[in-house]
Amino acid sequence: MKTNIKTRLIVIFAVLAVCVVGIFGIPQGVSGTALKQSLLNRIHLGLDLKGGMHLILQVKVDEAISAETDTDVAGLQSDLQRNGITGAVVSKPDANRADFIQIAGVPAAHNDDVRSLLESSYSSRFDIAPGVGNTWTLTMKPTVEGEAKQRALDQALEVIQTRTNTLGVSEPIIEPYQLGSYQILVELPGVDDLGRVKDVIQSTARLEAHEVISDQPWTDRQTALQALGGYVPPDAELLQSVPGAAAEGSPGEWYELKKIPIWGGRDIRDAQPGHNPNTNEPEVDFYLTSAAGDKFAAWTGANIGKYMAIVLDNRVQEVAVIKGQIRDQGNISGGGITEQRVKDLSMLLRTGALPASIDFLQETTVGPSLGADSIHQGVVASIVGMLTVMAFMLIYYRGAGINADLALFLNLVILLGFMGYSGATLTLPGIAGVILTIGMGVDSNVLIFERIREELRAGKSPSASVDQGFAHAWTTIVDTHVTTIVSAAILFIFGTGPVKGFAVTLTFGLLANLFTAVFVSRVIFDANLSRKLHGEPISI
């Protein structure tokens, strides 16, 4: 019996040691601050305790589809012309259907030519069908569309990951959000500059050069539309400029630009912050790829005297007349642009444009002060709760109360050890879970002790009562723990971050409790009994 107790005690101390290592790691020193530091290193704090941002983004994948079909429209138009089929107009008639292209006005003689052209070049990606009155329609195949959307999502994910790296966030989480379609979950611990983060993430950073169609700008969109006869031609678009785009001090005006850019997006090879050699103001210097550079040189050479607009994120940044051939260099400056903005913008251009724009669906911010407050309050509540329970157990169960208190303390140590080893995140509801574990954990002890008291009252000997107490209570303890753990499992599956943290600590706490309330308490009772004479009463 004695050796049995000794073995079991060794097991308990071994578990205790393992868990302490789990909590603190190998501590640098034993001072208060050193221990606190190693504790913080091992236990992951959730966003609601550490502070930071949690975002859910919607990638507007339809825009990516739209961009692709725009290129297809331009390509189709030039293909038709090259094959001598004049008079046909390619367009996207429905603004809400990005995947639907229509060719109208095909002369009857060329119908077969059109069909063979479409089937040879476009049938892999589009479903082709003839329409009424010499029209043809192309609808993007669903599989192709799905793939394109997924590609846009993956690309957006990659771009955002690269961008948040430059923010210097440690342990960011950027992943697809399972509960939505084409949505991204972003968690940035420790970030407190909301405006800058959102700019960095949301900016599509699409830099393009467009040919300017209109002779002169208009003051607002209404006037522009009127001048164009009430609607914008399908191959053009109306964009507003930032102040100072045309010349120093010019207001924000509206220009009519050719929709398909001369170059844009992936044609940008590099972008660096720099300074204007004349005014020493900060500016962004960007460089095109050689292929784009060639195309640009050809275009500028053929269009001297015309106007060109540099467009960033659908706002005209600069309008200038083409004086000579430009190869592959340009800059963005003016408009009071700051050093910080120049640095950010260069980074955005370097990491690449987002394939589609981003909407924010949800944003949760926890400032570091709120996080610190929450930790403080949680810890105070835990300590008060624990002390109250411990005091009560001592008063009500006397000697056995010490037993329960030791088991409770060990329970918490094992719980924190689990947290340390598994790398699970501690959230504010998680701290509440710890507090709940204290209450529910001591439940098992009460169950056993009450049973022991009952058996003692019925006249059994102390050791028999202890035996009976543990035996009868075991079934109920398992039942109650399993039901609560099942509850916690469901919360883990359906809950968000903080709630998941609660489910995790509750489960760990209850599992630890199965060990401490039964095994450890039993060992303490047995050790106590072995030191007493047969029949001598125990303190309970």
Partner 1 sequence: MELFHDPKIDWLGKKWYFLGFSLIFSVAGLLSILFWHHLPLDVDFRGGTVVRVKFAAHPDADRIRAAIDKAGLRDARIQQPYGPAANNEVLITLSLSETSQSALDQGRVTIISALTQNYSGDAAPNQGKLDLDNVGAVALTSWLEQNDPEHLGNTPEAETRYQNQASAVLNYRDAQHSGIIDSMNDLRGVVDPAILNALEQNAWLSGFHFQGGEIVGAQVGKVLQHQAELATLYSLGGMLVYLWFRFELIYGVAAVVACFHDTIITVGAFSLANREISLTVIAAILTLIGYSMNDTIVVFDRIRENLRLSRREPLADLVNRSINQTLSRTVLTSGLTFLTVLSLFLFGGEVLRGFSFALVIGILIGTYSSIAVAAPMLVAYQDWRARRGRTASLPAAKKARV
| Minimum separation from the CB atom of position 528 to partner 1 (A) | 19
The sign of the dihedral angle between the CA atoms of 104, 109, 115, 116 is: negative
Verify binding: residue 362, partner 1, rule CB under 8 A. yes
| Minimum separation from the CB atom of position 108 to partner 1 (A) | 46
Backbone angle region of 200, left / alpha / beta, with phi > 0 → left and psi within -120 to 50 → alpha: alpha
The H helix count followed by the E strand count for the chain is 15, 19
Verify binding: residue 539, partner 1, rule CB under 8 A. no
Verify binding: residue 363, partner 1, rule CB under 8 A. yes
CB closer to partner 1 out of 502 and 525: 502
Q: Which amino acid is at 122?
A: Y
Interface residue with partner 1, options 146, 234, 439, 537 (CB under 8 A) = 439
Please identify, among the stretches 24-32, 50-58, 240-248, 409-417, the one whose residues bind partner 1 according to the rule CB under 8 A.
50-58
| Minimum separation from the CB atom of position 539 to partner 1 (A) | 12
How many CB atoms are located within 10 Å of the residue 14 CB? 10
Instruction: Give the number of residues written for the chain.
Output: 540
Verify binding: residue 377, partner 1, rule CB under 8 A. yes
Cα gap 207→266, rounded to integer Å: 9
Q: Which amino acid is at 35?
A: L
Please identify, among the stretches 103-111, 219-227, 263-271, 435-443, the one whose residues bind partner 1 according to the rule CB under 8 A.
435-443
Verify binding: residue 373, partner 1, rule CB under 8 A. yes
Q: Which has the closest alpha carbon to 323: 338, 311, 306?
A: 306
Verify binding: residue 436, partner 1, rule CB under 8 A. yes
DSSP 252-272: P-EEEEESS-SEEGGGEEEEE
CA 403 to chain centre: 46
Return the half-sphere exposure (C-beta side, CA atoms, 13 A cut-off) of residue 129: 8
Q: Give the relative orientation of helices 462-494 and 497-513 as an angle to the nearest 10 degrees.
A: 160
Verify binding: residue 494, partner 1, rule CB under 8 A. yes
Verify binding: residue 18, partner 1, rule CB under 8 A. no
CB closer to partner 1 out of 348 and 447: 447
* Contact positions with partner 1 (CB under 8 A) in 69-128: none
Binding pattern for the stretch 170-209 against partner 1, x by CB under 8 A and - elsewhere: ---------xx-----------xxxxx-x-----------
- What secondary structure letter does DSSP report for 190? T
Coil/strand/helix, residue 376: helix
* Binding-site size, partner 1 (CB under 8 A): 82
* Residue 412 CB contacts under 8 Å (≥ 6 apart), including other chains: 386, 434, 437, 438, 509
* Contact positions with partner 1 (CB under 8 A) in 460-489: 472, 474-476, 478-480, 482-484, 486-488
H-helix or E-strand containing 136?
Answer: strand 135-140
CB closer to partner 1 out of 56 and 238: 56
Interface residue with partner 1, options 417, 429, 469, 509 (CB under 8 A) = 429
| Minimum separation from the CB atom of position 226 to partner 1 (A) | 27
Interface residue with partner 1, options 22, 244, 261, 378 (CB under 8 A) = 378
Query: CB–CB of 423/25 below 8 Å?
Result: no
Backbone angle region of 79, left / alpha / beta, with phi > 0 → left and psi within -120 to 50 → alpha: alpha
CB closer to partner 1 out of 266 and 398: 398
* Contact positions with partner 1 (CB under 8 A) in 498-517: 498-499, 502-503, 506
Query: CB–CB of 319/241 below 8 Å?
Result: yes
* Contact positions with partner 1 (CB under 8 A) in 258-317: none
* Contact positions with partner 1 (CB under 8 A) in 306-345: 340
Query: CB–CB of 438/408 below 8 Å?
Result: yes
CB closer to partner 1 out of 118 and 503: 503
CB closer to partner 1 out of 69 and 507: 507
How far, CA to CA in Å, does 265 sit from each of 70, 269, 356?
A: 14, 9, 11
| Minimum separation from the CB atom of position 487 to partner 1 (A) | 4
Binding pattern for the stretch 381-420 against partner 1, x by CB under 8 A and - elsewhere: xx-xxx-xx--x--xx-x----------------------
